[in-house]
Structures are given as C-alpha cells and as structure tokens.
Amino acid sequence: MATALFIIDVQNDFTEGGALGVTGGAGVAAGVTRLLREHPERYDVVFASRDWHDAHNDNGGHFASAEPNFVDTWPVHCVAGTEGAAYHPDLDTSLIDIHVRKGQGKPAYSIFDGIADTGESVENALDRLGVDAIDVVGIATDYCVLASALGALDAGREVRVLTDLIAGVAPDSSAAALDRLRGAGADLVSSEAA
C-alpha cells in the first residue's frame, strides 16, 4: 500500500500579506518544501489543493456580498488565475504530483471537494494509487486542513496531521479543530516524529 501527502491551500492569499493571510503560512510553505527535499522516499504521491474561485460571481455565497462573517462568507480570495491563487513561492511545486482545484463556483473546504487537473476525483486517484495512509499539512488548520483530514478519515484512510506544518486562522478554533481530528481518529504528530 502507499502513503500520500496532502498539501492544503498553501497559496499567496492564505499566507502573510494575502487577502486572508494567516500567521505562519509562509513558514508552512518553506517547511513542506524542506520535508519533501529531506525525505524524498517518505511519500509515494504528493497532492496539493488550491482554492480556485470564479472571478465574476459570489461562488455560491462563499464571497460576501456585504460584511463577511468569516465562517460561511469571506472576502474575495484565491480568484482563478490571479497571484493570490498561486502557490506560495517557498513551496517547490516540482515536488507535487497531483494538483487539485476546488471551489470553482461553489464553497469548498476539503480537498475531496476538488478535481485534479487531469479531471479525476481525489478519491478515485487515491484508490487507483492504492493509498491507505495520508499525512496532512497546510492552511488553514481550522478550516480546509480540518475538512480535508476529516474527508480522508471518512474515505477510510489512516490520517496523520503534521502539527508543525499547519497554520490556523485563530488559536482557539485551531485547537478545537485538532481536538476534533484527534477524536475522529487522526494522529497528531510533528514532521520529525512522523
């Protein structure tokens, strides 16, 4: 069986200075690159997701029409083809095998809501490649990392969240997300202990 890495939404708009930048986002980008360069044998396949929102609509109410509530509605971010939607420059994209775009016209938090550039669903790709274990890293702990890790658990995979390679929107909601993941069966480990 095979092990995969899920890199969740390490994009310019979710890192420092972006439309929805979180503290530590750039460090996640650099840390993931370092992990993959130092341990090239650790993963059989590397997936990376990106929010890839439509420019000319509210993406199913995801983009706020007035003041965002930062729960279900958000400022405009990660519009398809923009610099904000690009991977952070410290993430070495040559190390990624499967690129996944999500949120095209609708809200999408989990990598499982997206489609690979090849048109394949994430779950089909996991099945085709015989992936039974997934490590999850990325942004944001309390939203898309949470949803993606829960999706992997729901898909019957063993899941580890690498706690030194995630960054969240807020400390309390990030801690609650990790508690929820632990309770759902995910292991929480550092990348060095993994």
- Active-site amino acid positions: 9, 102, 144
Pick the closest to residue 70 from 22, 30, 118 (CA basis): 22
Q: 160 has which bridge partners?
A: 135, 187
CB atoms within 10 A of CB 10: 28
Q: How many degrees, rounded to 5, is the angle at CA 155 between CA 87 and CA 101?
A: 25
- Interatomic CA distance for residues 155 and 24, integer angstroms: 29
Looking at residue 118, what DSSP letter applies?
T
Measured between alpha carbons, how far apart are the two ends of the chain, in Å?
17
Task: Say if residues 155 and 112 touch (Cβ distance below 8 Å).
Answer: yes
